[in-house]
Amino acid sequence: MAENKKSFMLYVDLIHTVKKLDKSKVGELFIHILEYVNDLNPVTNDLIIEIAFEPIKQQLKRDLRKYEDTCKKNKEIAEKRWNKVPNDTKSTTGTITIPKVPNDTKSTDNDNDNDNDNDNDNDNDNDIYLNIENFQKFRNSEFENLDQVLKNKLKSFGITKPIIRNTNNANRQYVDVVEILVYIFNSIDWSYTTMKNLDLNEERFRAFMRDFIKTYVSDSSLNYDESKFQGHFVNWVKKKI
């Protein structure tokens, strides 16, 4: 956990994984999660707990990086807005700057216009999924922080860096092929449910998934998000069997 961060988020769809565990395993998993977020570096020899925890760990890492990025941006915005020194203001030591606190009751129209422009710019910059430069930078950082196991899986499909695609979606203008595939790799509960629903053994499921991923990676017109990827995969497999 980041310094001074006293909470973390669990997502509601975790229930689908938890309900498949024995009650004793649920307790172990929860304790494992709490030890992880408290930086106790838990280790388990239980394969079930390890498999169930892996996608949770990856999501916690992603959330932590987003939290740290937000804190950094907020700090930069605060420093930019408040640490403005008048030209005629001088420090007694010559090294310490004195912040100028804006007086809202005496602000000019130009000041208000500038603040509004800055606020609008910051809002746009903070929405990484609608700004190609911010999204590319964010995804580059995410890729560098991936576990080596995931990087090796991606490399087997010829992927060594983020692949950005335009979705033409009002809420999410861009997607990264890497982001989608990592999500799919970690969707263990969905994988087992799909195998059961399609009456596939693990070997056939993996073979179908490999072929579908190869098509998805090679065809730049395919810009599915996570849920659409899963839906298209299921429909594609149904046509194959």
Helix (H, G, I), strand (E, B) or coil at 6: coil
pLDDT digits (tens, 9 = 90+) for 40-97: 889 989 889 988 998 898 888 888 888 777 777 766 665 554 444 444 444 344 433 3
Domain ranges of the chain: 1-81, 83-126, 133-241
pLDDT digits (tens, 9 = 90+) for 167-182: 877 667 888 999 999 9
Q: How many CB atoms lie within 10 A of CB 214?
A: 12
Instruction: Categorize the per-residue pLDDT at 116 as very low, low, confident or very high, splitting at 50, 70 and 90.
Output: low
pLDDT for the residue numbered 159: 95
Q: What is the DSSP string of 161-200?
A: S--EEE---SS--EEEHHHHHHHHHT-HHHHHHHHHHHT-
| C-alpha–C-alpha distance, residues 146 and 161, integer Å | 11
Give me the percent of the chain exceeding a pLDDT of 90.
29
Supply the pTM of this predicted model: 0.50
Q: Is the pLDDT of residue 103 over 90?
A: no
